[in-house]
Structure 1
Amino acid sequence: MGEYRALKTVMLEDVFKFCNNYDSEPLTLSSSALKVVTDFTRRLPQVIAKDVDIDHALFMMVNGHVRSKLVVDHDDTFLGIVTAKDLTGRMVLSIAQKKNLTRNDLTVEDVMTSRRELHAMPYKMVEGAKIGDIVETLKDLGHQHVLLVDQNGLLRGMISASDIARALHMPMHILEKARSFQAIFSIVHNHDELKA
């Protein structure tokens, strides 16, 4: 354990103000969309194996302070995305009942959004876009995330509504859009849960 060392700290009893951050301007909807990209060339994507049970997956997300993970199989092939919201709520019980399983038997693969249902944007398009353009895109899609692909068709990154909200210090309300009867059912039940 000798490779690292604890750094010296100072007491804050005489500190009352924040420093001025002259190097960066506050982000706005007109700022470059690149400011809110999770770029997989700079940071490894948050991934989870498809066969992890949903309780363990939720534990991993909560302890990792993330709201979503990309789902992969054992060959690291991208299969979809799972959010903390997917792992809780009435839809989980509905899926368990439909598959004739108990809740404890469900895996990430059972509740994820598959890649067939996801949308992506070319990374080059994001380079010239504003954060407001991404917000409008997310609203139009009715999704909390949009994935980014490079010119070779590889996953390059992701932008999430929660990252935008955190960067702009403002709430971000993206209404889900139903694309099937099951999605309508899910949205109605999730809306009822929010009211309760």
Structure 2
Amino acid sequence: MSEFKLLNTTKLEGIYQFCEHYEGNPLSIFSPAEQVVTDFTRRHPQVILKDVDIDHALFMMVNGHVRCKLVIDHDDTFVGVVNSKDLTGRKVLTTAQKRNVSRADLTVEDVMTRKGDLHAMFYECVENARIGDILETLKEIGHQHVLLMDENQNLRGMISASDIARALHIPVNILQKAHSFKEIFEIIYEHAEVTA
């Protein structure tokens, strides 16, 4: 027997309108940035082991309704971030081809963004920031998310462009920035494939 109870539901026959009153103000780019933070002190971070194969990782993301997971090793040490695009995009085929292995042999570690290539900010910066400030920062660094650290440099949380887009009901397009000729080539090639 379950320790939870069933709640009453009702049919929606005859219901056509949305309510007009909001408790508080609806979110906008001027709202406090803390309202779109995934705070690890209140919610466990979404993590995945680095040696999980990419198909299983994608299955976990789809069924967990998440687009990004923090990658850890077997000692629970943070090593990087993987998102659903990493698991389904051109990066998978390029990596498999370079290593001369099949796609099924690739793991999360093979396609993740390593922590040394990620950006973070201290949580206290977010306490006085607006959502628009975070969007501007994400655009400047060319990343879909930024990690947040506490004063002891432990991971405290994360803000992602997709969370902001969902919260504000707006499209958010963060263009990837290149830092080397190799990255420039990869970005141009990837965008050419998308527009073809």
Task: Specify the TM-score bucket, using the shorter chain as the normaliser.
Answer: over 0.9
Separation (CA, whole Å) in 2 of partners of 1:28 and 1:175: 21
Map of 1:65 onto structure 2: 65
Q: CA offsets per residue over residues 93-123 of structure 1, 9 Å max, x none?
A: 1111212221110000000000000010000
For structure 1, the 5+ residue unaligned runs are: none
Deviation of 1:22 after TM superposition, in Å, equals: 3.0
RMSD: 1.3
1:5, distance to aligned residue in structure 2 (A): 3.0
What does 1:18-29 correspond to in 2, within 5 Å? Answer: 18-29=18-29
Q: Deviations over 1:134-173 (max 9, x none)?
A: 1110011000000000000000000001111111111111
Q: Give TM-score scaled by structure 1 length.
A: 0.95
Contact 1:28 1:131 in 2 (8 A): yes
| Cα distance in 2 between the residues matched to 1:36 and 1:2 | 33
How many angstroms apart in 1 are the aligned matches of 2:56 and 2:21? 40
Amino acid at match of 1:104: A
Paired position in structure 2 for 1:33: 33
Are residues 1:111 and 2:111 paired?
A: yes
TM-score after normalising by structure 2: 0.95
Residue matched to 2:170 = 170
Distance 2:193 2:41 in 1: 38
Q: Is the deviation greater in 97-106 or in 114-123? A: 97-106
Report how far residue 32 of structure 1 moved: 0.6
Deviant stretches of 4+, over 3 Å = none
Note if contact 1:48-1:70 (Cα within 8 Å) is conserved in structure 2: yes
**Alignment correspondent of 1:189:** 189
Q: Using the alignment, how far apart are the partners of 1:82 and 1:186 within structure 2?
A: 18
Aligned to 1:148: 148
Shift of 1:2: 2.8
SS of match in other structure, 2:157: strand
Identity of paired residues, percent? 66
> What amino acid does structure 2 have at the position aligned with 1:50?
K
Shift of 1:82: 0.3
> d(CA) in 2 for partners of 1:41 and 1:168?
24
Residue 195 of structure 1 deviates from its aligned partner by 1.4
Q: Per-residue CA shift, 1:11-50, capped at 9, x if unaligned?
A: 1113222223431211111111111111001111110000
Residue aligned with 2:82, SS? strand
Aligned amino acid, residue 192 of structure 2 = D
Unaligned runs of 5+ in 2: none
Contact 1:122 1:149 in 2 (8 A): yes
Q: Equivalent residue for 2:12?
A: 12
